[in-house]
Amino acid sequence: MVKQSIFGRISQLAKANINSLLDSAEDPKLMLDQMVRDFTSSIADAESAIAETIGNLRLLEDDYREDVETAGEWGNKALAASRKADQLRTAGDPVGGDKFDNLAKVALGRQLSSEKEAKQAEPQIEAQTAVVEQLKSGLNAMKEKLKQLASKRDELVARSKTAAAQKQVMDAVKSIDLLDPTSEVSRFEDKIRREEARVRGASELAASSLDAQFESLEDLGELSEVDARLAALKAGTITAITN
């Protein structure tokens, strides 16, 4: 029963449609990893079972060859006994002739028995040989399928890594997009522009204050001139201007 189960698994796994199984899987990589483990384990079990099956076949073949050889040996013994019987009869010893003829008959009986056993073993050997060839073929198909699984898994892992790398690059590019008003760069640029505007405002304010100071200086100059003339009038050094 165990062997039949293993042989059934060989047939089932060898015919497995990898692409179809992957299409229905939620996580193809995990499924491929599990399938690789299952195939590896099944191949090991199949190799052990097939080795035992081949061993049983070789035992049948050994027994068959032994039966064939034994049949040949008994045939030679029967022939030798028959010839000895003929010699004794020719020599005038019919009793001895009968004795060896009886021995020849015994040898022929043994020969027939060995030939019968060999004949009965032939279909078993033929059937077992066919089974072994089928199992070898299935095992080779499983090993080839395992290579496909391993290759598919490696391909999937590589594609997954490539996709992750591409996503990382795209995320990095997006994070430094100068046209993105929500990006850090744009916010920093806006901060600089505000600072520049504040500096320009301060400069304008400073310039305005400086003009006011100069205007006050001019006013002071005019007041000083008035005071000087007043002092001169009081001192009599200038006279008032009249019409």
**What average pLDDT score do residues 123-129 get?**
93
114 against 139, higher pLDDT:
114
93 against 42, higher pLDDT:
93
Tokens representing 58 are 């070789």
Residue 109 shares a structural domain with residue 212: no
Which segment, 2-6, 180-184, 192-196, is predicted with the most confidence on average?
192-196
pLDDT tens sequence across 59-96: 999 999 999 999 999 999 999 999 999 999 999 999 99
pLDDT at residue 2 is higher than 50: no
Confirm whether 115 is domain-assigned: yes
Confirm whether 238 is domain-assigned: no
| Total domain count, the chain | 2
Residue 218 shares a structural domain with residue 104: no
pLDDT at residue 1 is higher than 50: no
Neighbours of 28 (CB within 10 A): 18
Residue 147 shares a structural domain with residue 224: no
34 against 238, higher pLDDT:
34
Domain that holds residue 162: 6-167
**What average pLDDT score do residues 50-67 get?**
93
pLDDT computed for residue 218 by the predictor? 61
Residue 181: closest CA among 193, 170, 190, 172:
190
Residue 195 shares a structural domain with residue 132: no
Residue 88 shares a structural domain with residue 127: yes
Residue 26 shares a structural domain with residue 126: yes
Residue 102 shares a structural domain with residue 123: yes
How far apart are the two ends of the chain, measured CA to CA in Å? 148
Residue 98 shares a structural domain with residue 66: yes
Q: Is the pTM of this model over 0.85?
A: no
Confirm whether 132 is domain-assigned: yes
Residue 13 shares a structural domain with residue 130: yes
How far apart CA 195 and CA 147 sit, in angstroms, is 66
**What average pLDDT score do residues 38-50 get?**
84
Largest CA distance in the chain: 207
